[in-house]
Amino acid sequence: MGENGKEQAVADSKGHRHEFTKAQEVIHYALEQWGYPFEVYELLREPLRTLTVRIPVKMDDGRTEVFTGYRVQHNDAVGPALGGVRFHPEVMEDDVKSAAIWASLQSGLVDIPYGGASGAIVCNPTKLSFRELEALSRGYIRAIIPSIGSTKDVITPDAVTNTQVMAWMLDEYSQFSALDPSGFMTGKPVLGGSLGREVALAKGAAIIAKEAAKQENIQLKNGRVVIHGFGNVGTYVAKELVEQGVKIVGVSDGYGALHDEDGLDVDYLLDRRDSFGMVTNLFKNSISKEQLLGVDCDLIIDASRDRVMTPKTVKSIKADLLVETGKRTISEEASAQLHEQGTTVIPHVLTSAGNKVLSYLEGVQNHQGYYWMEEEVNEKLQQIMENALSVVYEHSRKRKMDMQQAAYMIGIHKHAESCRLRGWI
């Protein structure tokens, strides 16, 4: 590796480490606010278990390639750990540890009996054949099987791990554990899966957006909404809000933004997306994403993947409510700035909890051997999400802090209390 390569590797490592350090800072802040002694943070700042495995796979060309896999369990004082497994070429151990902490916070927020976990395989799935991907998925399960199960650690989907990958993992696990064939994972297809899984993330975000609007006394009928990030989640939330009578006055994607104070036709835009899902590049009157932030509106849905929301750019925001569904696209500094301006920010850790709740509901159905209709699943999802939002709002108002800070406090509290009651600290 040349000098440039070494420098890049060091820079990448620091970036991954920063994400983990950030997660630690979040729980440190939350525990301090609750008044817990430092030893509680000492216990929760690192995962209870970190497993690194090596997975040999016979490739299509006859050679054997060895892949690295991880499974991290942050805490299991509340109940079994629960979290996703992703396939990514640049994932590092600190990324997985960070994700496990966020999984704990999310479980605590929506009050489900799980700790946080996360897993990953270092690979580029787009360069693997169907057979190679299957062999890798099965090899990962064989490698981590002593550490997983419905009473230890439940695997959920994440990046690339679709229902087919989950089905392979389920089949592999069932060959080693006949007593727990489906309870060790969620996100399964018809093989013990739950209805409502495919849209749970977006539906959960839509539920939070509508309920937060009520909390902020925003009338959705004829309300003005901007969708920052017109992808899968953004378009789903847009369609849900249009049914409530709102006007979508702006949308943005990777190329730019569109704005019309009289309202955009969402169905028209969806019909005209290109093969990459983009739409703004097809119109001459597009504006920048930064300009879109400053338009007059009542509510902004931030479903983007970029970080346009900086302390500087958010100063132009006029909306009373901002719902962050993109993965932590709003920094603590930007969130504090918005709070100072009078804009309420609903953080990603809460709005993206729909999949986590669905995993819990799927586990309940697996254990009782009875599966609900989709309408009943959606009702339970709505009840849990609305209750979680209500608790965070109440805590925010009581403590006179922003919603992000309140969410972090609620998210860690159950885990800290469970550790205390068990006599661990």
d(CA 347, CA 366): 30
Q: Which residues contact 38 (CB under 8 A, 6 or more apart)?
A: none
Query: What are the structure tokens assigned to 288, written together?
Result: 């920048």
As a whole number of Å, the end-to-end CA separation of the chain is: 46
d(CA 212, CA 300): 12
For residue 48, how many other CB atoms are within 10 A of its CB? 17
Helix H, strand E, coil C: the string for the chain is CCHHHHHHHHHHHHHHHHHHHHHHHHHHHHHHHHCCCHHHHHHHCCCCEEEEEEEEEECCCCCEEEEEEEEEECCCCCCCEEEEEEEECCCCHHHHHHHHHHHHHHHHHCCCCCEEEEEEEECCHHHCCHHHHHHHHHHHHHHHHHHCECCCEEEEECCCCCHHHHHHHHHHHHCCCCCCCCCCECCCCCCCCCCCCCCHHHHHHHHHHHHHHHHCCCCCCCCEEEEECCCHHHHHHHHHHHHCCCEEEEEECCCCEEECCCCCCHHHHHHCCCCCCCCHHHCCCCECHHHHHCCCCCEEEECCCCCCCCCCHHHHCCCCEEEECCCCCCCHHHHHHHHHHCCEEECHHHHCCHHHHHHHHHHHHHHHCCCCCHHHHHHHHHHHHHHHHHHHHHHHHHHCCCHHHHHHHHHHHHHHHHHHHCCCC
Query: Cβ(371)–Cβ(197) under 8 Å?
Result: no
Is 232 within any annotated ligand binding site?
yes
Query: Cβ(331)–Cβ(369) under 8 Å?
Result: no
Residue list for the binding site for NAD(+): 232
Residue list for the binding site: 232, 359
Residue list for the binding site for substrate: 359
